[in-house]
Amino acid sequence: MAPASEAMGSSGRFPRVVIIEEGMREGMQIESADISVDAKIELLDALSRTGLGTIVVGSFVSPQWTPQMAHIDELVSRFTPVDGVRYTALALNERGRERVSHYMPPLVTSIEFPRTLVHLCDVFVRRNTNRSQDQEIALWPEVIAATVATGATSVGIAINAAWGSNWLGRFDQDYRMKMLERQYQLWSDAGITVDKIWIGDPMAWNMPDAVEAQLHAILQRWPEITSFHLHLHDARGTALLSAYEALRVLGPEHTLILDSSVGGMGGCPYGGHGRMTRMIATEDLVNLLQELGIPTGVDLGRLIEASLLAEDVVGHSLWGHVSKAGPRPRGEALFPMDLPFIETEEEAQHFRLGPRAYVGARSPWTQPIVSSARDRLQLDLKGRHNEN
């Protein structure tokens, strides 16, 4: 199976979609530090075999404050890379970037760089990276000068904590546009084209209408920006809705990059929600895209198995929906009509385990249930298959 990092709507009305799998970084950074390297490698290797095109393997950060990443060097040294998969890692400072450089390959530079960045919440950035918003802004000229020296011709601008803060409240669109405009102007003055934008939401303040309005504003102000990267958290259950709005707003001339996490696990310990911050579950995102006719290159069955493996690895239930109830059944996957009562989460796993998932379940049916409508549908499908 050839991995694929992007998808394009078959109808031509959707943007090109790139999925970035964050479970090994966003997920593991908020889970137990006692999870073994062997277990993490098993999960990373399983994700690598699903067809996902970009996987963030972890963070090169201080083990004092993020002990979950204490063995990142061992993980990167021992996992099994799959050809065609982009493996990246987070580094927050020069020391971290130097550590990452020792593992290139299999690691590669993240696709959103080069860029400038500012957090709209000065409380969160102080808690998360021990610097102020003003210090972030003061770094912009240095980043721009270094980028110019490399000969880069296009770059990105970025805002984090974009829609609101658990300490400061909601941020309005004027504030977001102001911070984007300041970055854009500096890059423009340096003679470099801005064609990418990254918007992060670590405290899950995204709302579908606000995401829609923001993207429309960017498209109107800077039509040359064609790549949109959204990092949406799901503490309040709106992240997949917001991602869908982005799919509706953007067109086939655009690229939409969506961060997601197997099982929906994820969250920053500095944001106030812990594990409940969550992310879009990758299996739910892949299912949505495929149902919309947007091929993903991902084997959803393998991804569901990876999600269930992730639950074993972290030791608790995760938050994906498709891994619990299965994708919409079609063809031979349609449920048996005399299926017994299905009441528990374990019994619902019959979509992948078959009858052994519901052994002993109650059943009121004394005669087989038949459906002439289903028979006709199956005949129609068989006829179409023979014609093709």
- Residue 23 has which token pair? 């479970």
Q: Could you tell me the two tokens for 142?
A: 């240095």
What pairs with residue 20 in β-bridges? 54, 259
Residue 279: strand pairing partners = 233
Q: According to the model, what pLDDT value does residue 331 have?
A: 87
- Judged against a pLDDT cut of 80, whether residue 10 lies above it is answered with no
56 compared with 93, residue with greater pLDDT: 56
pLDDT at 14 exceeding the cut of 70: yes
Q: Predicted confidence band at 221 (pLDDT cuts at 50, 70, 90)? A: very high
CA angle 143, 148, 150 (to 5 degrees): 100
- Give the pLDDT band (50/70/90) at residue 9: very low
Inform me whether the pLDDT recorded for 12 exceeds 90. no
> Which of 93-107, 280-294, 350-364 is predicted with the least confidence, judged by mean pLDDT?
93-107
Pick the CATH number of 6-325 from 3.30.70.20, 3.40.630.10, 3.20.20.70, 3.90.1150.10: 3.20.20.70
Backbone angles phi, psi at 120, to 5 degrees: -75, -20
> Percent of the chain having pLDDT more than 70?
94
Give the pLDDT confidence of 111-122 residue by residue, as tens digits.
Answer: 888 999 999 999
**321-365 tens-digit pLDDT:** 999 999 999 988 999 999 999 999 999 999 999 999 999 999 998
- Residues with Cβ < 8 Å from 86, sequence gap 6 or more? 5, 53, 54, 55, 108, 111
Pair 270, 29: CB distance under 8 Å = no
Q: Is the pLDDT of residue 93 over 90?
A: no
- pLDDT at residue 1 is higher than 70: no
pLDDT of residue 7: 45
pLDDT exceeds cutoff 80 at 297:
yes
Residue 380 has pLDDT above 80, yes or no: no
Query: Does 11 score more than 90 pLDDT?
Result: no
Listed in sequence order, the residues at least 6 apart from 209 whose beta carbon sits closer than 8 Å to its beta carbon are 245
349-368 as b/e, with b when 16 or more CB fall inside 10 Å? Answer: bbbeeeeebbeebeeeeeee
The sign of the torsion formed by the CA atoms of 332, 335, 338, 342 equals positive
Nearest partner of 320 among 299, 342, 304, judged by Cα: 304
pLDDT at 155 > cutoff 70: yes
Tokens of 78: 């021992």
Domain ranges of the chain: 6-325, 338-387
DSSP of 277-340, one letter per residue? G-B-BHHHHHHHHHHTT---S--HHHHHHHHHHHHHHHTS----SHHHH-SPP-GGGSPPTT--
Q: What is the pLDDT of residue 373?
A: 82
Radius of gyration over alpha carbons of the chain, in Å? Answer: 23
Cα 32 from chain centroid?
A: 21
pLDDT of amino acid 3: 42
Quote the CA–CA distance of 15 and 368 in Å, as a whole number: 47
Question: Quick one: pLDDT at residue 312?
Answer: 98
pLDDT at 386 over 70: no
Tell me the average pLDDT of the chain. Answer: 93
- The whole-number pLDDT of residue 379 equals 67
